[in-house]
Amino acid sequence: MIKLDLLLRRRLQDAQRRLAQWRIGVRLRAAFAGLLLVTGALVALCLYSMNTIEQQMSDIVVRNNHKTELLHHLRSVMLSQSVTVRDLILETIDEQKQQHAATLGEQRAAYRRYGDEVTPLLVDPEEQALYAQATSAMAGVDQALDKAVTLALDGQAAAAVVFVNRRAGPLQRQVLDALDTMIDMQQKLNQLTLLDVGHQTAAAGRVTVALALVLFGLGWVVALLITRSITDPLAVAARMAANIARGELDAQTLQTFDRDEVGDLLRSMTDMQQMLVRFVESQTEMAQAHAEGRISQRMVVTPFAGVYRDMATSINELAASHIAVQQKCVAIMGHYARGDLSHEMEVLPGEQSALSDTMSQVRSKLQAVNAELLRLVQQAAAGDFSARGEAARFEYDFRQMIEGLSRLMAIAEQGLGDVGTLLAEIARGNLTETIQSEASGTFARLNDDANTTVQQLRQIVFGIREATESIHVASQEIASGNTDLSSRYERQTAALESAARNMGTLIDTVRGNASQAAQARELVGGAAQLAMRGGEVVGQAVNSMQAATQAMTRIGDIVSLIDGIAFQTNILALNAAVEAARAGEAGRGFAVVAAEVRALAHRCAGSAREIKDLIGHSHAAVDTGARQVGTAGDTMTEIVASVQRIAQIISGISEASQRQTDDIEQVNGAIALMERDMQQNAALVEQTASATLSMADQARNLSDLVAVFRIDDADQTVITAQAA
**Which tens digits make up the pLDDT trace of 362-407?**
667 666 777 877 887 887 777 776 778 888 888 888 788 888 878 7
Most confident among 73-82, 614-623, 696-705 (mean pLDDT): 73-82
Residue 361 is predicted with a pLDDT of: 72
Rounded to an integer, what distance in angstroms lies between the CA atom of residue 28 and that of residue 83?
Answer: 79
Phi first, then psi: what are they for 430, rounded to 5°? -95, 105
Q: What percent of the chain has pLDDT over 90?
A: 0
Does the model's pTM come out above 0.85?
Answer: no
More confident residue, 635 or 67: 67
Tens-digit pLDDT profile for residues 210-224: 777 877 777 777 676
Q: What is the pLDDT of residue 437?
A: 67
Tens-digit pLDDT profile for residues 108-164:
888 888 888 888 877 778 878 887 888 888 888 788 788 877 887 887 778 778 777
Average pLDDT score, the chain: 70
pLDDT of 356 strictly over 60 = yes
Q: What is the mean pLDDT of residues 236-250?
A: 71
Q: How far is CA 96 from the centre of its chain?
A: 75
Residues 279-300 have a mean pLDDT of 77
Angle subtended at Cα 5 by Cα 225 and Cα 37, rounded to the nearest 5 degrees: 35
φ, ψ (nearest 5 deg) of residue 619: -75, -30
Contact by Cβ (8 Å): 88, 58:
no
- Which of 627, 110, 684, 683 is CA-nearest to residue 398? 684
pLDDT for 19 beyond 50: yes
pLDDT at 622: 45
Q: How far is residue 222's CA from residue 225's CA, in Å, rounded to a whole number?
A: 5
Which residues, in sequence order, are CB contacts of 444 under 8 Å at separation 6+?
438
Which region, left, alpha or beta, applies to residue 93 given φ > 0 means left and ψ of -120 to 50 means alpha? beta
Predicted local confidence at residue 18, as pLDDT: 61
At residue 414, the pLDDT reads: 55
Q: Is the pLDDT of residue 30 over 70?
A: no
Tell me the helix, strand and coil percentages in the chain, rounded to 5.
85, 0, 15
